[in-house]
Amino acid sequence: MATATQDKTIDSQASSQAGERLSLSLWLQLMKCTKEIEAGVGGRLRKVHSQSLARFDVLSQLHRFAGDWVAVGEIAGRVMASSGNITALVDRMVAEDLIVRRASPDDRRSHQLRMTDKGAALFADMTDDHARWVDAALDGIADKDKERLIALLVEVRRAFEATTTIQIKGPAPGSGPEQES
Amino acid sequence: MATATQDKTIDSQASSQAGERLSLSLWLQLMKCTKEIEAGVGGRLRKVHSQSLARFDVLSQLHRFAGDWVAVGEIAGRVMASSGNITALVDRMVAEDLIVRRASPDDRRSHQLRMTDKGAALFADMTDDHARWVDAALDGIADKDKERLIALLVEVRRAFEATTTIQIKGPAPGSGPEQES
DNA sequence: GTTATTTATTTAACATGTAAGATATTTACA
DNA sequence: TGTAAATATCTTACATGTTAAATAAATAAC
């Protein structure tokens, strides 16, 4: 009584399970890789410059708009920080005179940020060290492998973004009301 | 996400080479990939199960020793948490009856952890969802590419550990915790 | 032209991360 | 044996992340 339909179902289920295990492995390795390097690089950044990776991110985003004022939300989005957390981070950086905040002249809801000279100088220092550390951490990997990895990771990100804008399939346990997205 | 640095000082520094820029790009993609997927998967874990990825990590490590008591430090090491932060995390999980803590019978300095039935049940639920979510997030990536990525990421981790173990005193990481995949 | 919605940010409460130092215990050794 | 060093954990202080709700201003609707 194995109809074609049932065969197809079984087949797709089996392959789905194998693929699921592969996905988990990939996810695990991705996490381990990132966390280990992040811990190493972030630790050095903290020890040598007393700054976190988050602050480095903020500075590097401001650097890309060198001289211009940038809205807080603009920075928060680019650093993947929620609007809720950026406030305290910016506060501390302002207190340390790394950046300046002012009310937007155009939109009175909005505030803007810009690097100070001190922030720019610190950023220049950090950038240099950061590039060296990352390069040292990835020493031993062939350039071709790096290129291959970069290409694959970009592809992963693209695939991820494509699938998460849609409803997640899933056997829909028939229980909870699915939402989100 | 450690954005930053794809275009900055390289042109002004003749000593910076293509390899360094490649390393930075790789680092950037690694961070972006992990953070995006982590945000997606972690967000769902939080919404559906009201648990964080850190808690999920703790439970999955305890699960590997199913039934046995495991030292707090053992868990902290495997989930890459410092001894300082694991305390509060464990406290909250104990308060929620997901795990139990007792003084070690062998070593009076040491404390041990074990999952409760409630914790085990929750873990089973989460594991199932987690596997599906990750698989959905990585849908669209060919199995061969996943395998290639896994292999490359393992290589990166190995290279990273090789270059950063040098300055650490002691023979510690030689027989470090071997992880599965 | 008042009312409702959206947008930009802050506030609040809390979970999780780090480092430094305290405490207790085991271990090594002169 | 007594003392120093290593080990395992906790405490404290604080940086950073999350969500939800509050505030304020711009925008849209009637």
Nearest to B138 by CA among A43, A75, A95, A22: A22
Interface probe for B, chosen from A160, A165, A179, A180 (most Cβ of B below 10 Å), is A160
Name which residue leads in pLDDT, A149 or A34.
A149
Tokens 């650490």 correspond to what residue? Answer: B168
Strand partners, B112: B71, B102
Within 6-45 of A, beta carbons closer than 8 Å to B belong to 16, 18-20, 22-41
Sorting pLDDT into bands at 50, 70 and 90, what band is A115?
Answer: very high
- Using the predicted structure, report yes or no on whether residue A21 has a pLDDT greater than 70: yes
Task: Kindly list the residues from chain B whose CB atom is less than 8 angstroms away from the CB atom of residue A16.
Answer: 135
Surface-to-core class of residue B48, CB atoms within 10 Å of its CB (0-12 exposed, 13-18 middle, 19+ buried): middle
Tell me the mean pLDDT in the region A161-175. Answer: 47
Surface-to-core class of residue B102, CB atoms within 10 Å of its CB (0-12 exposed, 13-18 middle, 19+ buried): exposed
Q: Give the pLDDT score at A13.
A: 53
Tell me the mean pLDDT in the region B94-101. Answer: 94
Q: How far apart are CA B2 and CA A112, in angstroms?
A: 21
CATH number of the structural domain spanning residue A68: 1.10.10.10
Using a CB–CB cutoff of 8 Å, tell me whether B47 touches chain A.
yes
CA distance B80 to chain A (A): 8
Tell me the mean pLDDT in the region B81-106. Answer: 91
Q: How many CB atoms lie within 10 A of CB B95?
A: 8
Decide if A8 is inside a domain.
Answer: no
- Domain with A84, as residue range(s), is 32-140
**Digit-coded pLDDT (tens) for A63-110:** 998 789 999 999 998 887 888 889 999 999 999 999 999 999 999 999
Q: How far apart are CA A144 and CA A146, in angstroms?
A: 5
**Where are the alpha helices (H) located in B82-170, listed in sequence order?**
83-95, 117-137, 143-164
Sorting pLDDT into bands at 50, 70 and 90, what band is B133?
Answer: confident
Q: Give the pLDDT score at B60.
A: 92
Tell me the mean pLDDT in the region A35-44. Answer: 87
Decide if A45 is inside a domain.
Answer: yes
Q: Give A111 CA → D26 C1' in Å.
A: 14
Contact at 8 Å (CB) between B99 and B113? yes
Task: Kindly list the residues from chain A whose CB atom is less than 8 angstroms away from the CB atom of residue B38.
Answer: 31
- Tell me the average pLDDT of chain B: 80
All residues at 6 or more sequence positions from B170 whose CB lies less than 8 Å from its CB, including other chains: none
- Cα-to-chain-centroid distance, residue A76: 12
Domain count, chain A: 1
Indicate yes or no: CB of B27 within 8 angstroms of CB of A134.
Answer: yes
A84 CB closer than 7 A to any strand D atom: yes
Highest-confidence segment of A12-21, B112-121, B165-174? B112-121
Interface probe for A, chosen from B27, B60, B79 (most Cβ of A below 10 Å), is B27
All residues at 6 or more sequence positions from B56 whose CB lies less than 8 Å from its CB, including other chains: B45, B123, B126, B130
Sorting pLDDT into bands at 50, 70 and 90, what band is B63?
Answer: very high
Decide if A11 is inside a domain.
Answer: no
Name which residue leads in pLDDT, B98 or A78.
B98
Nucleotide closest to residue B47 (CA–C1'): D19
Indicate yes or no: CB of A36 within 8 angstroms of CB of B157.
Answer: yes
Contact at 8 Å (CB) between A126 and A56? yes
Within 48-87 of B, beta carbons closer than 8 Å to A belong to 48, 80
- Using the predicted structure, report yes or no on whether residue B15 has a pLDDT greater than 90: no
Which of A63, A156, A164 is opposite residue B33, by nearest beta carbon?
A: A156
All residues at 6 or more sequence positions from A85 whose CB lies less than 8 Å from its CB, including other chains: none
- Cα-to-chain-centroid distance, residue A43: 18
Surface-to-core class of residue A152, CB atoms within 10 Å of its CB (0-12 exposed, 13-18 middle, 19+ buried): buried
Which of B135, B137, B164 is opposite residue A164, by nearest beta carbon?
A: B137
Among chain B residues, CA nearest to A180: B44
Name which residue leads in pLDDT, B14 or A146.
A146
Q: Give A3 CA → C26 C1' in Å.
A: 68
In sequence order, what DSSP letters do the residues of B67-92 get, joined into one string?
TS-EEHHHHHHHTT--HHHHHHHHHH
Using a CB–CB cutoff of 8 Å, tell me whether B4 touches chain A.
yes
Q: Give A113 CA → C9 C1' in Å.
A: 13
Q: Give the pLDDT score at A16.
A: 63
Decide if A38 is inside a domain.
Answer: yes
> For a pLDDT cut of 70, what percent of chain B falls above it?
81
Decide if A134 is inside a domain.
Answer: yes
Sorting pLDDT into bands at 50, 70 and 90, what band is A173?
Answer: very low
Interface probe for A, chosen from B153, B155, B158, B181 (most Cβ of A below 10 Å), is B153
Contact at 8 Å (CB) between B136 and A160? no
- Of A30-34, A49-53, A62-66, A80-84, minimum mean pLDDT range: A80-84
Contact at 8 Å (CB) between B102 and B126? no
Q: How far apart are CA A65 and CA A54, in angstroms?
A: 17
Decide if A155 is inside a domain.
Answer: no
Tell me the mean pLDDT in the region B129-137. Answer: 87
Can you read off the two tokens belonging to residue B34?
A: 């992990």
Contact at 8 Å (CB) between B139 and A163? yes
Q: Give the pLDDT score at A5.
A: 39
Using a CB–CB cutoff of 8 Å, tell me whether B161 touches chain A.
yes
Sorting pLDDT into bands at 50, 70 and 90, what band is A164?
Answer: low
- Show which positions of strand D are touched by protein (CB under 7 A): 7-13, 15-21, 24-26
B92 CB closer than 7 A to any strand C atom: yes
